[in-house]
């Protein structure tokens, strides 16, 4: 059907409710809006769904959620997973509880037990819950850090990680095969509960989750020693982190935890935020104000589904709060865990640290210093979670820590996705250790730079929305792939890694070999002077992202080098 035919189908078919039809009637004279809502199906990608909430095939609504759930249900049935069931969690966004119920009732109508959290929960707790309950799959209703008009639907498998190959493509195939909305099953909620197909979960999972987190603490005695002195400011950015973060810090003995009152409670409008993203300095406006009032040592912000953590730490020399990138905070935790596990004799045999190809190159000298194997995977924490599964299956290594540049990390294997709650806990332990030593987290960061090198990374993104945006993004990737640059400014290209075509080319010799990683539309340029650049279309937003990294001789030198590389990347796109 054409987009106009699809619009008329939604407008006239009895399957769609009157509220949906009223919303569509309000745009009946807006041809551009009709086309944007109906020119395609909201794509069910390798991570699930994500889009603007509203009526239409290219929007997040109860009908697109049901359709996706029917496809997933069909896949679960083919895998004979009905009895194992599915766990479902949701965040603080508009329609999140409703979408969670729609997914659960579609599963129930297909004979699949659904375990639904009683109220909003962090994404990593869903990963923990489905493994604890022995489920075959899991769903989180969240759009992470996207603006308030968005929502999403992420799918997990029984190992606790988001779906990876080949299951991602197989599930996508099942979702795409559901072409008739009338074929999508659902049922009454009370009837599903009476049949034991809709089950409410909550406190029992929360308690077990907290106990698993505490196992990652290395020096509880240090926390107790400085508990009266250390001051922590925290904001959940109106999302899911408030309850679990406050609980874990309280149970560990931290006494001075100040939560930003304007952002403490769930708010789907994110009223106090332009963008609920801990990568955005403006998201810390209220938290930094409170930190200065309280003279806090550390300032923390978790994103709405509490899988990513941003931090500021006090620089006692300047009296200012210094921002940390995800690489910086991840490296602090990694250095602390590897150092203290080595010192206390608690490092497992064959330890491994897992990171992504666009994360800082500082991971190399840190892992070498402690005899830990470094494994690089494609962008996306699901590939880090997948490595934990491989370790368990083969016994080859023991997972110690994993991180990605986008403010996500995981200590422990209780979850198979990035976990901001455990990251808060770990960073607060590191901050306590620093406090005991008479320094701050920022002092320790400078020591880490001095020890391993002044690595600095940045990102440059081009947003291209709408129907033509994807074509423009594809054209940029084609140009870089078919005519790769020989240099970026003063930095020569040493090798080109083309993950789409599974080949690495050494420019000096022309030698080719395989990447060793799954197929993905990613181009990576290894540059001289320990620098690099990577091009990758976003899987969740209408963007193409360029990741860059350098190594300097000082903070100022690294800053100058990364700025020069950014300008060189922009010049290569002209």
> Where residue 494 sits, what CATH number does that domain have?
3.30.310
pLDDT at 539 over 80: no
Give percent of the chain with pLDDT exceeding 90.
Answer: 94
The predicted pLDDT at position 574 comes to 78
The predicted pLDDT at position 151 comes to 97
Cα dist from 171 to 49, 165, 180, 282, 325, whole Å:
12, 10, 17, 38, 34
Chain Cα centroid distance, residue 394? 26
Q: Are 24 and 7 in contact (CB under 8 A)?
A: yes
Q: Which residues are catalytic?
A: 144
Q: Are residues 301 and 341 in the same domain?
A: yes
Phi, psi (deg, nearest 5) at residue 118: -65, -25
Q: Are residues 116 and 255 in the same domain?
A: no
Q: Are residues 431 and 322 in the same domain?
A: yes
Model pLDDT for residues 181-210, shown as the tens digit of each residue: 999 999 999 999 999 999 999 999 999 999
**11 domain residue, yes or no:** no
Peptide bond into 427 cis (omega under 30): no
**3 domain residue, yes or no:** no
The predicted pLDDT at position 45 comes to 83
Q: Are residues 271 and 343 in the same domain?
A: yes
Model pLDDT for residues 324-366, shown as the tens digit of each residue: 999 999 999 999 999 999 999 999 999 999 999 999 999 999 9
Model pLDDT for residues 457-469, shown as the tens digit of each residue: 999 999 987 668 8
More confident residue, 317 or 430: 430
Q: Which residues pair with 310 in a beta bridge?
A: 301
Pairing outcome for strands 309-315 and 320-324: antiparallel
Integer Cα distance of 200 and 115 in angstroms? 6
**267 domain residue, yes or no:** yes
Instruction: Decide: residue 390, CB within 10 A, 0-12 exposed, 13-18 middle, 19+ buried.
Output: middle
Pairing outcome for strands 487-488 and 454-463: unpaired
Q: Which structural domain, as residue segments, surrounds residue 563?
A: 454-573
Domain end point (choices 395, 425, 452): 452
The predicted pLDDT at position 468 comes to 81
Q: Which residues pair with 532 in a beta bridge?
A: 526, 549
Q: Is 44 helix (H, G, I), strand (E, B) or coil?
A: coil
Domain end point (choices 452, 479, 504): 452
- Measured between its terminal Cα atoms, the distance across the chain in Å is 38
Integer Cα distance of 408 and 438 in angstroms? 28
**87 domain residue, yes or no:** yes
Q: Are residues 437 and 294 in the same domain?
A: yes
Model pLDDT for residues 406-417, shown as the tens digit of each residue: 999 999 999 999
Q: Are residues 283 and 387 in the same domain?
A: yes
**300 domain residue, yes or no:** yes
Model pLDDT for residues 269-290, shown as the tens digit of each residue: 999 998 899 999 999 999 999 9
Q: Are 259 and 235 in contact (CB under 8 A)?
A: yes
Q: Are residues 464 and 447 in the same domain?
A: no
Give percent of the chain with pLDDT exceeding 70.
Answer: 99
Instruction: Decide: residue 473, CB within 10 A, 0-12 exposed, 13-18 middle, 19+ buried.
Output: buried
Q: Are residues 200 and 327 in the same domain?
A: no
Q: Are 310 and 324 in contact (CB under 8 A)?
A: yes
- Indicate the pTM of the whole model: 0.95
Q: What is the mean pLDDT of the chain?
A: 96
**16 domain residue, yes or no:** no
Q: Are residues 185 and 240 in the same domain?
A: no
For 471-510, the DSSP string reads HHHHHHHHHHHHS--SEETTEEEEEEEETTTTEEEETTT-
Model pLDDT for residues 494-533, shown as the tens digit of each residue: 999 999 999 999 999 999 999 999 999 999 999 999 999 9
Q: Are residues 411 and 550 in the same domain?
A: no
More confident residue, 541 or 302: 302
Residues in the chain: 574
The predicted pLDDT at position 464 comes to 85
**331 domain residue, yes or no:** yes
Q: Are residues 433 and 460 in the same domain?
A: no
Integer Cα distance of 98 and 66 in angstroms? 11
The predicted pLDDT at position 422 comes to 98
What CATH number is given to the structural domain containing 154?
3.40.120.10
Domain end point (choices 452, 475, 495): 452
Integer Cα distance of 128 and 82 in angstroms? 19
Q: Is 125 helix (H, G, I), strand (E, B) or coil?
A: helix
**216 domain residue, yes or no:** no
E strand spans, 169-302: 198-201, 231-235, 256-259, 298-302
Model pLDDT for residues 39-93, shown as the tens digit of each residue: 999 988 878 999 999 999 999 999 999 999 999 999 999 999 999 999 999 999 9
Domain tally for the chain?
3
Question: What average pLDDT score do residues 258-267 get?
Answer: 98
pLDDT at 567 over 80: yes
Please name which of 51, 341, 369 lies closest in space to residue 219, comparing C-alpha atoms: 341
Model pLDDT for residues 206-246, shown as the tens digit of each residue: 999 999 999 999 999 999 999 999 999 999 999 999 999 99
Q: Are 450 and 441 in contact (CB under 8 A)?
A: no
Q: Are residues 423 and 460 in the same domain?
A: no
């Amino acid at each position: 059907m054409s987009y106009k035919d699809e619009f008329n189908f939604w407008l006239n078919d009895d399957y769609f409710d009157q509220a949906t039809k009223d919303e569509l009637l309000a745009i009946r004279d807006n041809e551009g809006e009709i086309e944007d809502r109906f020119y395609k199906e909201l794509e069910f990608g390798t991570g699930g769904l994500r889009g603007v909430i509203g009526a239409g095939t290219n929007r997040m609504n109860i009908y697109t959620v049901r359709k996706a759930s029917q496809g997933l249900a069909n896949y679960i049935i083919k895998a004979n997973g009905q009895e194992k069931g599915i766990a479902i969690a949701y965040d603080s966004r508009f329609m999140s509880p409703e979408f969670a119920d729609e997914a659960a009732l579609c599963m129930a109508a297909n004979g699949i037990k659904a375990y639904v959290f009683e109220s909003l929960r962090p994404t990593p707790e869903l990963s923990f819950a489905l493994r604890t309950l022995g489920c075959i799959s899991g769903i989180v209703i969240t759009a992470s850090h996207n603006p308030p008009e968005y929502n999403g639907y992420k799918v997990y498998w029984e190992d606790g990680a988001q779906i990876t190959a080949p299951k991602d493509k197989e599930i996508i195939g099942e979702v795409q095969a559901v072409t008739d909305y009338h074929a999508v099953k659902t049922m009454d909620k009370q009837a599903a509960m009476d049949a034991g197909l809709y089950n409410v979960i909550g406190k029992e999972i929360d308690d077990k989750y907290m106990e698993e987190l505490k196992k990652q603490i290395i020096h509880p005695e240090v926390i107790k020693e400085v508990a009266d002195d250390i001051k922590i400011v925290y904001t959940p950015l109106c999302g899911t982190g408030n309850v679990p973060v406050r609980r874990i810090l309280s149970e560990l003995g931290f006494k001075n935890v100040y939560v930003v009152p304007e952002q403490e409670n769930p708010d789907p409008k994110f009223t106090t935020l332009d963008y609920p993203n801990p990568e955005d300095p403006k998201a810390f406006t209220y938290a930094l104000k409170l930190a200065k009032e309280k003279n806090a040592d550390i300032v923390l912000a978790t994103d709405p589904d509490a899988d990513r953590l941003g931090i500021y730490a006090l620089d006692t020399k300047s009296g200012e709060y210094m921002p940390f990138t995800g690489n910086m905070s991840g490296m602090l935790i990694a250095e602390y865990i590897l150092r203290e596990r080595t010192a206390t004799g608690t490092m497992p045999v064959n330890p491994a640290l897992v990171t992504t190809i666009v994360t800082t190159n500082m991971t190399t000298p840190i892992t070498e210093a402690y005899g830990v194997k470094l494994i690089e995977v494609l962008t996306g924490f699901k590939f880090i979670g997948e490595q934990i599964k491989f370790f368990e299956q083969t016994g080859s290594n023991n997972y110690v820590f994993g991180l990605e540049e986008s403010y996500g990390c995981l200590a422990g294997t209780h979850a198979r996705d990035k976990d901001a709650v455990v990251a808060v806990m770990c960073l607060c332990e590191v901050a306590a250790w620093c406090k005991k030593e008479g320094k701050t987290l920022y002092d320790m960061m400078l020591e880490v730079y001095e020890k391993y090198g002044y690595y600095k990374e940045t990102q440059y993104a081009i947003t291209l929305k709408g129907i033509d945006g994807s074509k423009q993004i594809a054209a940029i990737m084609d140009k870089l792939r078919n005519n790769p640059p020989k240099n970026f400014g003063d930095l020569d290209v040493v090798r080109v890694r083309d993950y789409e075509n599974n080949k690495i080319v050494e420019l000096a010799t022309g030698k080719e070999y395989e990447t060793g990683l799954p197929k993905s539309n990613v181009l990576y340029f290894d540059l001289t002077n320990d620098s690099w650049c990577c091009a990758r279309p976003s899987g969740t937003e209408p963007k193409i992202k360029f990741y860059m990294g350098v190594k300097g001789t000082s903070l100022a030198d690294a800053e100058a080098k990364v700025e020069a590389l950014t300008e060189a990347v922009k010049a290569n796109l002209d």
